[in-house]
Amino acid sequence: MSFLSYAWGWLRAPVQWHGSDGIPIRILQHLGYTGLSLLIAALIAVPLGILIGHTGRGALLVVNVANAWRAIPTLGLLVLAVITLGFSPLAWLIPLVVLAIPPILVNAYEGVAGVDPEIRDAAQGMGMTPWQQVLKVEVPVALPLIMLGLRTGAIFVVATATIAAEIGLGGLGRYIIDGLASNNYGEVAGGAALVVVLALVVQVVFVGLRRLVVPAGLRKQERPT
Amino acid sequence: MMWSWIPSNAGLIRQYTLDNAYLGIVPALLGLVISVPLGIACVRWRWLYPPVLSATSILYALPSLALFIVLIPYTGLTDTTVIIPLTLFSLCILLPNVVDGLRSVPGPVRQAATAMGFGPLRRLVQVELPIAVPLVIAGLRIAVVSSISLASVGQLMGIYSLGYFFIDGYQRDFPTEIVVGLVLIIALALVCDVLLVGARRLLTPWQPRRARRGNRRVLRGRAVLEVPEVAA
Amino acid sequence: MATYPIRFLANGCVSLGRPGRWAATLTWQRGAGNVPGQYGLDSKSRPRILAGGAPEGHVLITFEGVTKRYPDGTVAVDHLDLEIPVGQTMVLVGPSGCGKTTSLRMINRMIDPTSGRILLDGQDIQQSDPPDLRRGIGYVIQQSGLFPHRTIEANIATVPLLIGWGKARARTRARELMELVGLEPQMASRYPYQLSGGQQQRVGVARALAADPPVLLMDEPFSAVDPIVRASLQDELIKLQSELHKTIVLVTHDVEEAIKVGDQVAIFRPGGKIAQVDTPERLLGSPADDYVENFLGFDRGIRRLSFLAASGLNLTDSAVVSAGTPAAQAAQAARRAGESWLLVVDADRKPLGWAAVDELESSPVEAKAGGAQLMAYGHTFDVSSDSLRAALDATVLSPAGQAAGVDDLGRVVGVTSYDRLRTAILAADARSAQADVTEAAAES
């Protein structure tokens, strides 16, 4: 049987859609973990990236982060967190946030640091204070990349949250892990299918968000999706 | 940390390290082999690039675990189940690099080659591809590092790699194993990265050593730092 | 169009290391043999063209009614008729968008005309396979376009290797050319990023000359460097041309460069038409209309003088006196000749300075001419090699209103004045008018 037939077979069953292990709950959980981690990561990484991009100090940190972060295995980090922190919310929150920070940080930095020096010059020449330069000029110009960083971060958080089911987290990964444990490929397939759809929906949301947030004049600058 | 565990499990450690290396490097190389001709086609026929790029973006957004699972009915629980999705991910990373690398050939250089009588194929092979090498290697570095770390996720489905130590350590509540696994994966990734940087230096003696300011290339939001710009 | 895949594959085979032969066989149905004037490549040597020296004045490149119209309606070149003589530098000059670069790039088929044809040594270039054609034409562009991934030596040796020279021969040739364009031998193994803009441009020229092509196309080659480097590169081009006698077509927007470097100058109007084609001297002397006159700039009269030789001047000896001559005697001779200033020279006849005759007259009896208060003689001009413009400049700068003409050893030959300059200019005009008449009679 193909993947789709397994998945469909499992998804069709009405029992999946009810109860505390039901699909709607799991979806909400997954979105919850994603949203929370992304929010915290953004709150840390966006201002930090903007700061480093504007002042230029600490760029070395960003360089190293950019080159190194992909090497960190998500499973390893999750498992380590649980072992050291026990089954507290921090055990999954910290790894999720840690893995979401690099793409957001690097892109925020690139966005601000990559602002055309002539634009910066003009802003300063107009008499803007550094704060004004950052808020009124550099951040808006960097917005496309900041949004892209958030979107990329979302990709990784959704994926990591799926794996985090291994350490007991809820969400759609639950189906995969439980299904693997009980050799129920239908459940596994169904879970995987849902995760795929969720990931795509999240991407679409971010694309739409970008359209809302980024001014039309800047949208053209980035290469097309 | 129980240090004694390490020597007593040296064999296992070595085995899984090799497995992980295999599962990380092969997809990256396969991705390269696919992305180079595809990239050349996307540069030659400009209309091809946007749809192909969209397709790879969508693919890249999907969690690796899900993709492994999708393949199970077809490839079972073998290495291939891990290699195919990781190859696709590597492709997603490498394709923009190949295209950008080819496009990074300065206009005057391309013109001069044509004006000197280079046919299109010769120009591609002797001028454009060599100049694209730095960006391609930059992408390859990311692809290899990502694949090495993502390969460990396959352990959840019983496909052996250094991820074994994560699962085993978790189940036995044994942090030493986990730490060893983490360190080894990161070390493996680092070694491959350094080797690729060395390869780049060997292959491109024509580039300035130090990356100068403003030499950073932002490729679709995945900032690639430390890639010297091609001096025209 | 059906031949395109064949030609593309042929090119592919060409790039697999069998240069020339395949492409030649497939595209030259009319027998690529030793037909005189046939533009073609044989595999092992440099491009053959003009077997045996072509006569002076022979036209090498002809534009016949060439038009380039783009899909959006812009006409870059409009029915261009132009003849480019062999062995000379033809400069195409004009404002931006006048079609000069487009015309240049049609010669090596980087652009193809919409209508009309271009003949290279009598042969329509449309009949040549572009890569083959281009291997026989040197091409220098503004940003040099050096291959960043190859050493300087490898860059220069590109076309020779492409047409099948051995590595050793190509390398020797590269070294020769480096010397020709003034690059030190140790640069050979450097990479482009290590060179300055001026040096890169020299490499570009060397690379274009490597296979010894008869034709050299240059598109604003010196515009990207600073004025000092530009001037020296222009001088070197002139020197090179005097040795090599290539047929050079050079595009520039700088009319000064055109006049300095060109044997023939074609001034383009916006819209791709030619306003006037002539030697720089005749352009400056008789511009065809207001547009050309404006384009040439406001002091064309004086600039024209740089084309007239100072050797045509009648210099006078009477204003020259040696330092040892007694002052009173010198003054007397000067009064008789009607001179108010005397140029005092030393024993080698090198100039020392100007002495006012008034002062000489009022100096003590035993004084010598050399003892008087001398004014600096300022600039001199070389009688054999300088132009009337240099003589005029020296005269203007001289406090005495007269300039000293010297020979190549610096010895004074004579002295000129504004009057004498005026006479020389009028005589030169008369001569060139006479030459025009003779030429017109010869052509009719």
Q: What is the pLDDT along chain A (225 residues), one digit of tens a residue?
A: 688 888 888 888 887 787 777 888 899 999 999 999 999 999 999 999 999 988 888 888 888 888 788 899 999 999 999 998 888 888 889 999 999 999 999 999 998 988 888 788 777 777 777 888 888 888 888 888 999 999 999 999 999 999 999 888 888 988 899 988 898 888 899 999 999 999 999 999 998 998 888 776 666 544 322
In the predicted model, is pLDDT for residue C40 greater than 70? Answer: no
Length of chain C: 444
SS3 call for B218: strand
What are the CA-CA distances from residue A132 to residues A55, A121, A126, A128, A216 (Å)?
14, 13, 11, 6, 21
In the predicted model, is pLDDT for residue B210 greater than 80? Answer: no
A42, two tokens: 């953004």
Q: Identify the weakest region by mean pLDDT among A15-24, B89-98, C231-240.
A: A15-24
Place of tokens 């020769």: C176
Nearest to B185 among A76, A83, A109 (CB): A76
In a domain, B134, yes or no: yes
Q: Return the higher-pLDDT residue of B213 and C206.
A: C206
Helices and strands in chain B: count of H runs, count of E runs: 10, 2
pTM of the model: 0.74
**Cβ <8 Å between A195 and B146:** no
Distance to chain A for B146, nearest Cα, Å: 5
* Listed residue (C262, C249, C247, C238) closest to C212, CA to CA: C247
**Cβ <8 Å between B125 and C15:** yes
**Cβ <8 Å between A110 and B223:** yes
CA angle B177, B183, B189 (to 5 degrees): 135
Q: How far apart are CA A120 and CA C127, in angstroms?
A: 55
> Would you report the helix, strand and coil content of chain A in percent, each value rounded to 5?
85, 0, 15
CB A41 within 8 A of CB A97: yes
Work out the pLDDT band at C34, boundaries 50, 70, 90.
very low
Distance to chain A for B213, nearest Cα, Å: 11
CB C88 within 8 A of CB C263: yes
Nearest to B175 among A71, A80, A145 (CB): A80
Q: Phi and psi at residue C379, in whole multiples of 5°?
A: -90, 150
**Cβ <8 Å between B182 and A73:** yes
Q: Identify the weakest region by mean pLDDT among B54-68, C49-63, C181-195.
A: C49-63
Q: What is the pLDDT of residue C172?
A: 94
Residue A184 contacts B where some CB pair is shorter than 8 Å: no
Q: What is the pLDDT of residue B104?
A: 92
| Interface chains of chain A (3 or more CB pairs under 8 Å) | B
**Cβ <8 Å between B63 and A162:** yes
pLDDT, averaged across chain B = 87
Residues of chain A with C-beta less than 8 angstroms from the C-beta of B62: 195-196, 199-200
Place of tokens 């990561």: A41
pLDDT, averaged across chain C = 81
In a domain, B38, yes or no: yes
In a domain, B51, yes or no: yes
In a domain, B87, yes or no: yes
* Listed residue (B101, B120, B96) closest to B110, CA to CA: B120
CB C22 within 8 A of CB C3: no
Chain C residue set in contact with B, beta carbons under 8 Å: 8, 11-12, 14-15, 108, 110, 130-137, 139, 141-151, 158-159, 162-163, 191-193, 204, 207, 217
In this prediction, residues C36-45 reach a mean pLDDT of 32
In the sheet with C89-93, reading across from the earlier edge strand, the strands are C137-140, C215-219, C247-252, C89-93, C264-269, C273-278
**Cβ <8 Å between A167 and B170:** yes
Q: What is the pLDDT of residue A223?
A: 37
Distance to chain C for B134, nearest Cα, Å: 11
In a domain, B126, yes or no: yes
Nearest to A148 among B60, B178, B221 (CB): B221
In this prediction, residues C261-290 reach a mean pLDDT of 91
Chain pair B-C, CB pairs under 8 angstroms: 99
In a domain, B232, yes or no: no
Find which of C8, C16, C18, C147 to mutate to test the B interface (most B CBs within 10 Å of its CB): C147
Q: How far apart are CA C314 and CA A34, in angstroms?
A: 96
**Cβ <8 Å between A79 and B167:** yes
Work out the pLDDT band at C357, boundaries 50, 70, 90.
confident
Q: How far apart are CA C312 and CA C423, in angstroms?
A: 10
Amino acid at C436: D
Q: How far apart are CA B208 and CA B217, in angstroms?
A: 16
C77, two tokens: 């070149």
Kindly state the percentage of chain B with pLDDT values over 70.
Answer: 90
Kindly state the percentage of chain C with pLDDT values over 90.
Answer: 35
The winner for highest mean pLDDT among A54-68, B142-156, C416-430 is B142-156
What are the CA-CA distances from residue C427 to residues B82, C283, C313, C388, C432 (Å)?
93, 18, 10, 12, 9
SS3 call for B190: helix
C-alpha C29 chain-centroid distance? 39
CB C135 within 8 A of CB C41: yes
CB C413 within 8 A of CB C402: no
Residues of chain C with C-beta less than 8 angstroms from the C-beta of B231: 148, 192-193
User: Max Cα separation, chain B?
Assistant: 69
**Cβ <8 Å between B206 and C151:** yes
Residues of chain B with C-beta less than 8 angstroms from the C-beta of C15: 118-119, 121-122, 125-126
Cα distance between the two ends of chain C? 45
CB C153 within 8 A of CB C189: yes
Residue B15 burial (C-beta neighbours within 10 Å; 0-12, 13-18, 19+): middle
Restricting to B residues 125-154, those with a Cβ less than 8 Å away from any Cβ of C are 125-127, 130-131
Residues of chain C with C-beta less than 8 angstroms from the C-beta of B205: 191
Place of tokens 């080819």: B102
Residue A187 contacts B where some CB pair is shorter than 8 Å: no
In this prediction, residues B76-90 reach a mean pLDDT of 93
**Cβ <8 Å between B182 and A158:** no
CB B139 within 8 A of CB B96: yes
Q: What is the pLDDT of residue B211?
A: 54
In a domain, B109, yes or no: yes
In this prediction, residues C97-103 reach a mean pLDDT of 91
Closest C-chain CA to B204: C149
Q: Indicate which CATH number applies to the domain containing B107.
A: 1.10.3720.10
Work out the pLDDT band at C286, boundaries 50, 70, 90.
confident
The winner for highest mean pLDDT among C45-59, C253-267, C305-319 is C253-267
Restricting to A residues 152-181, those with a Cβ less than 8 Å away from any Cβ of B are 152, 155, 158-159, 162-163, 166-167, 173, 176-177, 180
B9, two tokens: 């499990």
Closest A-chain CA to B214: A114
**A to C contact (≥3 Cβ pairs closer than 8 Å):** no
**Cβ <8 Å between C11 and B121:** yes
Amino acid at B6: I
CB B52 within 8 A of CB B92: no
The winner for highest mean pLDDT among A10-24, C51-65, C149-163 is C149-163
Work out the pLDDT band at C57, boundaries 50, 70, 90.
low
Domain range holding B147?
A: 5-227
* DSSP assignment letter at B206: T
Q: Identify the weakest region by mean pLDDT among B10-14, C64-68, C75-79, C371-375.
A: C371-375
Q: How far apart are CA A97 and CA A90, in angstroms?
A: 10
**Cβ <8 Å between B114 and C134:** yes
Q: What are the residues whose beta carbons fall under 8 Å from the beta carbon of C217, sequence distance 6 or more?
A: B115, C104, C105, C107, C108, C137, C138, C139, C140, C248, C249, C250
Q: How far apart are CA C243 and CA C266, in angstroms?
A: 23
**B to A contact (≥3 Cβ pairs closer than 8 Å):** yes
In a domain, B32, yes or no: yes
Restricting to A residues 84-113, those with a Cβ less than 8 Å away from any Cβ of B are 84, 103, 106-107, 109-110
In the predicted model, is pLDDT for residue C276 greater than 50? Answer: yes
Three-state SS string over chain C comes to CCHHHHHHHHHHHHHCCCCCHHHHHHHCCCCCCCCCCCCECCCCCCCECCCCCCCCCCEEEEEEEEEEECCCCCEEEEEEEEEEECCCEEEEECCCCCCHHHHHHHHCCCCCCCEEEEEECCEEHHHCCHHHHHHCEEEECCCCCCCCCCCHHHHHCHHHHHCCCCHHHHHHHHHHHHHHCCCCHHHHHCCHHHCCHHHHHHHHHHHHHCCCCCEEEEECCCCCCCHHHHHHHHHHHHHHHHHHCCEEEEEECCHHHHHHHCCEEEEEECCCEEEEEECHHHHHHCCCCHHHHHHHCCCHHHHHHHHCEHHHCCCECCCEEECCCEHHHHHHHHHHHCCCEEEEECCCCCEEEEEEHHHHHCCCCCCEHHHCCCECCCCEEECCCCEHHHHHHHHHHCCCCEEEEECCCCCEEEEEEHHHHHHHHHHHHHHHHHHHHHHHHHHC
Give the ipTM.
0.85
Nearest to B146 among A70, A180, A225 (CB): A70
Q: How far apart are CA C121 and CA C61, in angstroms?
A: 6
**Cβ <8 Å between B117 and C132:** yes
C-alpha C68 chain-centroid distance? 28
In this prediction, residues C252-270 reach a mean pLDDT of 93
Counting the structural domains of chain B, the total is: 1
Work out the pLDDT band at C23, boundaries 50, 70, 90.
very low
Q: Which letter, b or e, does each residue of C334-356 get, where b requires 16 or more Cβ atoms within 10 Å of its Cβ?
A: beeeebebbbbbeeeeebbbbbb
Find which of A33, A62, A75, A221 to mutate to test the B interface (most B CBs within 10 Å of its CB): A75
C287, two tokens: 């511009």
